[in-house]
Amino acid sequence: MVRRQNSKYEAVIELPPRGPVEALVYWRDPKKSGIVFGSIMVVLLSLTFFSFISVVANLSLLALAAAFGFRVYKTVQQAIQKTSDGHPFKEILELDLTLPSEKVRQTSDLAVTHINAIVSELRRLFLVEDFIDSVKFGLGLWMLTYVGSWFNGMTLIILGVVALFSLPKVYETNKAQIDQNVEVVAGKINEITAKVKAAIPIGKKAEEKKEQ
């Protein structure tokens, strides 16, 4: 569902309950977060030097070799000790990895809602429904041209992963101070935007048409 409010399209979305992803990015269990973060970084750094197929093939071979070696080791150990512990990966093999159809539908509905909201907002910005918003959007695109000249796509992804595993924890630790500074900056931006809108006739005409 998408609704329009204050000349902007907003998606009415029911956020999913907090789960393991939040626990990872907030480092609730440093060991698990460290393993996940390290694994992701190894894969991304590998992709900067090798092709995607080579990285997937080599990492898969490494995982297979480790599992094979561990399986042989446990089999020999059971034979020597004459135990009947069974397959060392029995618990993992018995895990139900099938995707619940209801969960898939919820995820699909959430994705469609996001896509519809983004498409509506892009149409509004590109067709200059609101002069100021489109100018700000243009400035953002102009800044992205410089970002693109400084970093490639993989570097941005790596920086994004680092930010995902660092900024939430930093914000949680310094929430009061950050909120105070953000509120001050937001107030200044709103003040400047209001002055610009008041000084630009196009902005005034657009507001008058919306009120009518």
pLDDT at 61: 95
pLDDT at 211: 54
Q: Is the pLDDT of residue 113 over 90?
A: yes
pLDDT at 5: 44
The structure tokens listed for 47 are: 């992709």
pLDDT at 23: 86
CA–CA separation, 70 vs 77, rounded Å? Answer: 10
pLDDT at 90: 86
The structure tokens listed for 209 are: 């048409």
Return the percent helix, strand and coil in the chain, to nearest 5.
Answer: 75, 5, 20
CA separation (Å) from 171 to 19, 33, 163? 18, 17, 11
Q: In this predicted model, what pLDDT tens digit does every residue of 171-202 receive, in sequence order? A: 888 888 888 888 888 888 888 878 777 776 65
Q: Is the pLDDT of residue 59 over 60?
A: yes
Task: Provide the CB-side half-sphere exposure for 133 (13 A, CA).
Answer: 16
Q: Is the pLDDT of residue 96 over 60?
A: yes
Q: What is the residue type of 143?
A: M
Do the Cβ atoms of 33 and 136 come closer than 8 Å? no
DSSP state of 166: T
pLDDT at 15: 41
Q: In this predicted model, what pLDDT tens digit does every residue of 16-29 receive, in sequence order? A: 445 788 888 889 88
CA–CA separation, 140 vs 142, rounded Å? Answer: 5
